[in-house]
Amino acid sequence: MLFFKKKTTPVPLEERLVPQNLGIIMDGNGRWARKRGLPRQAGHVTGAQTFRKITKYCERCGIRYLTVYAFSTENWKRPQEEVDAIMNLLHQYLRESLADFQKENIRVRFIGDRAPLAEDIRQLMEEAEESTAHKEGMTLNIALNYGGQQEITAAARRLAERVQAGEITPADVTEESLQQALYTEDQPPVDLILRPSGEYRLSNFLIWQSAYAEFVFMEDILWPDFKESDLERAFAEFARRNRRFGGV
Ligand code: IPE
Ligand code: IPE
Ligand code: MG
């Protein structure tokens, strides 16, 4: 486990080993705003801008899959005012990004339980997915009302229903079939999970997919301040890791 106290020198682009599948826990919006004497919502506004910038940069770096944690199944516990502000921002972001994503070679997918989300937001999510389905560049998974435990439970339930319907037998419940029943389906495992803001936990993010992921916790930065060079520091650290996957 590594965290950054001081900035390290960025590694030149050509020397970087870029992860194929990256997960980002976009954390620290509230603290960023509070430090400036602003309401927490202001942090979400700036955090959303950072998200757009970093997503495009990931595509240019050659990342194949990027999953960003935007709203967890636990985030409903926040004050209603903050939840409403996040949902409004999302609505606005989705409308703007429909045009924005057209210019990029990014395929957008949403992962998480959509049922509790407002109808207009669900509609925009579908539009974003449909209008970018043909893109061949990076796949961007936006985790919205996402929780790893909810995801695995829903996958297990789906397989149980198929057993009950006589389509498969209990022996067909394998790591592969469970993986296929997750929101991320046939995507490869996550290589690297990044979390700014100084929290050292997964907070229910991609718990199945990150079984062998590397973790880089960056305690010296909050998400709204996150820059391309911070991503490069994380890639440089990733390139130094010795991944053994249980072997020698
Ligand atoms: C992450 O920032 C964004 C969401 C969870 C939507 P936070 O809002 O958790 O910011 P902190 O952790 O309170 O600073
Ligand atoms: C995780 O951050 C969720 C998102 C970044 C969307 P939280 O701020 O909700 O996580 P905890 O509560 O600190 O674990
Ligand atoms: Mg937080």
Are 50 and 229 in contact by the 8 Å Cβ rule? The answer is no
**Does the beta carbon of 29 sit less than 6 angstroms from any atom of ligand 1?**
yes
To the nearest 10°, the Cα dihedral for 148, 146, 41, 47?
A: 80
Q: Of 5-14, 84-93, 208-217, which has the strongest mean pLDDT?
A: 208-217
- The pLDDT tens digits of the residues spanning 113-141 come to 999 999 999 999 999 999 999 999 999 99
Please tell me the distance between residue 186's alpha carbon and the centre of ligand 1 in angstroms: 29
Q: Is 46 in the pocket of ligand 1 (CB under 6 A)?
A: no
**pLDDT at 50 > cutoff 80:** yes
Q: How far is the CA of 75 from the centre of ligand 3 (A)?
A: 9
Question: pLDDT of 172-190, one tens digit each?
Answer: 999 999 999 999 999 999 9
Question: With pLDDT > 90 as the criterion, what percentage of the chain qualifies?
Answer: 88
CA 127 to ligand 1 centroid distance, Å: 27
Q: What burial class does residue 211 get, using C-beta atoms within 10 Å of its C-beta: 0-12 exposed, 13-18 middle, 19+ buried?
A: exposed
Per this entry, what is the length of the chain?
248
27 is catalytic: yes
List the single range of 21-25, 49-53, 94-98, 192-196 with lowest mean pLDDT: 94-98
Q: Which atom of ligand 1 is nearest to the CA of 222?
A: 14
Q: Is the dihedral angle over the CA atoms 50, 56, 59, 65 positive or is it negative?
A: positive
Q: What is the pTM of this model?
A: 0.93
- pLDDT tier for residue 5 given thresholds of 50, 70 and 90: very low
Which ligand places an atom closest to the C-alpha of 202? 2
For 155-164, what is the mean pLDDT?
A: 98
Q: What is the DSSP letter of 68?
A: E
pLDDT value, residue 7 = 45
How far is the centre of ligand 1, averaged over its atoms, from the C-alpha of 175 (Å)?
A: 33
Residue with tokens 């301040």: 225
- pLDDT, position 8: 47
Pocket test for ligand 1, best of 26, 31, 49 (most atoms within 8 A of CB): 31
pLDDT digits (tens, 9 = 90+) for 53-70: 999 999 999 999 999 999
